[in-house]
Structure 1
């Protein structure tokens, strides 16, 4: 297992991290025996970074991980878990959640602690104003928390604002060969690296969509280059080729995935892809781009929108629907564009002022396309559903 040094604190982290959101299940619950065996097998093979969260597996993921790390395994790994900001409306909420997490994980310290799923600067500022950041710093000083970071699902501009607003110990972003121009984007990855902030990558295979949801023409392109590499191997090696990435999280849900990912992580060094292999990815991206609806490159020259629309984000979600035929596209659209943050940034916010079109290098008919996005991604019950969700989660 290849390991990389955390440039902030000197920790030696395995380049493969175990994402604890997709454990094998049985009868609707986590299959404890299999999951524990998978975790311990991964540790025996060098994996030392385990990422979970308060809400994963309906709150059972942390407990399972805690159980799996008994018998001496805890001292061999780094635990990462997360605080859900949308469940925190006062400092006591955060204190109770962290206390519960320590109990679930059967530990007295959490090595890497994140604000979960930040989507904009306002969400971070809320945590700051409630005293959450100050409290996390207190826990860090006493050793209960080792490192303070955040996971991100939002626009490039929001990522840049958030990462510059606090002396973060690390960050976690969605990144893969399809997401170079989506969410934090490649420029966000580079910015974090320039600031010497370690980067943990999530969704390297888009929840399996870059394994089982690829067009036949993409599969053919990969196979013609090297028929022995699976789509998963292609996707993981592309990310590990980036020197800016510290750890890649894989939500492994069966034993074969654990075995395959560990094998790949044994020799997937940075800058190791050949020119031929890199050219295959260019070919694949060309094929994928032919399926998109809006040729947006997320350059953000159209931003900021005076009415709050996250234009690149709207187009990214819209294109994703057609690229990977994701059945959860409406949920993800809502999640990344304002359902859990203070201000919505949906396509339907557009007032057709036309300011954005004056600056678009691709000459996209933005107003027209935003209408299409609103019609397909929102629908008649969208705002009612978002309103109900925000009420349940007590998001103001």
Structure 2
């Protein structure tokens, strides 16, 4: 395993999607997967305050197995829930308790949107708080995670002496989010770059249109779309860590195999042309640029927003019948339905969407295209079948 900066493994373990069993985290399987990853060189583990119970799970397993000295923990401060330094202190202490540690290696301002919010935190007194935590050793490095355009990202980089940053970046986002321009700018400033959503929550694997899959299948050497996507990132010297939301042993083993064999600059000029063709193929089909991050959830009216968008996209990236089947299974064939027509246009979701999606508008399109007469007939006859 290669370690590029700060002794971080180039493959990081994203802890947002631990395997589930009966609606809760499968502790036995999660422990097995974490143990394998650590034994094979992964040392960067990323969680957050709002990842439902995952800080606690990570803390319990790290303490149980005495892994703390072997790994670096990254977690995040939800600035959108903080209104005073006293609240921040209370929340941070809660995080340390959950994680069963007395320090955090890498602490991020979660989804910091722009300089204006950072200045608001500064006025609140966060600089003194950060300095205190770094002096007493409770925080080793300070950074931020970001969703937004490259100009706002670069302005944030210039607003403080950050020690690292975390951005959404993949071969589809070279001109979106922080983009290639922002990644290069951070690296020039000596700020390590952590990558999230390297495969857009799996959409660049399972949600690719046939044309894009065929392009990858025809390329040499033979690699899966996931491997091509990860290698595209690690090919760039500006990238320090690529986070993967690994929730199966097969995924962990495959990602470690790839990480153990990559080299900066390994890709040929022809590979760049292939990725351009893949980008064009995906953009032809994708309707909503949702990554499935879940920040828009829970919807107060019960809509599974990421699920609805995923099925809507599948209708166009795969085919109509697959999309409809997925939509019925994932939103309608259940005791409490989560389909798009439950939306009441409150707009709460749009306040939290890091992609800036016009969620209400797009949900109307989902209703229009997915909840057609055929859907309504099937849903009518299924309503009694799936009662509690």
TM-score range, shorter chain: 0.7 to 0.9
Give the corresponding residue for 2:57.
64
8 Å contact 2:287–2:313 — kept in the other structure? Answer: no
Structure 2 distance, partners of 1:93, 1:107, is 20
1:149-177, CA deviations, whole angstroms, 9 ceiling, x for partnerless residues? 00001222221221110100000000000
Structure 1 residues 26 and 237: CA distance shift in structure 2, 3 A: same
TM normalised by structure 1 equals: 0.74
Give the corresponding residue for 1:339.
351
Instruction: Return the offset for 1:269.
Output: 1.5
Structure 1 distance, partners of 2:313, 2:112, is 22
Give the corresponding residue for 2:47.
52
Structure 2 residues without counterparts, runs of 5 or longer: 289-308, 328-338, 366-388
8 Å contact 1:116–1:150 — kept in the other structure? Answer: yes
Instruction: Return the offset for 1:92.
Output: 1.3
Structure 1 distance, partners of 2:218, 2:355, is 42
Instruction: Return the offset for 1:374.
Output: 8.9
Give the corresponding residue for 1:138.
132
Instruction: Return the offset for 1:340.
Output: 4.8
Structure 1 residues 379 and 162: CA distance shift in structure 2, 3 A: farther
Give the corresponding residue for 1:12.
7
Structure 1 distance, partners of 2:183, 2:226, is 21
Structure 2 distance, partners of 1:324, 1:48, is 35
Give the corresponding residue for 2:186.
192
Give the corresponding residue for 1:312.
none
Structure 1 residues 85 and 260: CA distance shift in structure 2, 3 A: same
* Alignment: residue pair count: 318
Which stretch shows the higher mean deviation, 271-280 or 164-173? Answer: 271-280
Structure 1 residues 165 and 27: CA distance shift in structure 2, 3 A: same
Structure 1 residues 84 and 263: CA distance shift in structure 2, 3 A: same
8 Å contact 1:48–1:78 — kept in the other structure? Answer: yes
Matched, 1:34 2:29: yes
Structure 1 residues 253 and 127: CA distance shift in structure 2, 3 A: same
1:106-129, CA deviations, whole angstroms, 9 ceiling, x for partnerless residues? 111100000001122222122211
Give the corresponding residue for 2:362.
377
8 Å contact 2:49–2:75 — kept in the other structure? Answer: yes
Aligned to 2:142, the other structure's residue is in SS state strand
Name the Cα RMSD after superposition.
3.0
Superposed, 1:318-337 pairs within 5 Å as none
Instruction: Return the offset for 1:277.
Output: 2.4
8 Å contact 1:40–1:68 — kept in the other structure? Answer: no
1:359-388, CA deviations, whole angstroms, 9 ceiling, x for partnerless residues? xxxxxxxxxxxxxx79833769xxxxxxxx
Aligned to 1:117, the other structure's residue is in SS state coil
Give the corresponding residue for 1:213.
207
8 Å contact 1:48–1:77 — kept in the other structure? Answer: yes
Structure 1 residues 160 and 62: CA distance shift in structure 2, 3 A: same
Structure 1 residues without counterparts, runs of 5 or longer: 295-316, 348-372, 381-396
TM normalised by structure 2 equals: 0.75
Structure 1 residues 229 and 37: CA distance shift in structure 2, 3 A: same
1:249-284, CA deviations, whole angstroms, 9 ceiling, x for partnerless residues? 000011100000000000111111123322221221
Structure 1 outlier segments of 4+, above 3 Å:
289-294, 320-330, 344-347, 373-380
Give the corresponding residue for 1:258.
252
Instruction: Return the offset for 1:14.
Output: 0.5
Superposed, 1:286-325 pairs within 5 Å as 286-291=280-285
8 Å contact 1:62–1:104 — kept in the other structure? Answer: yes
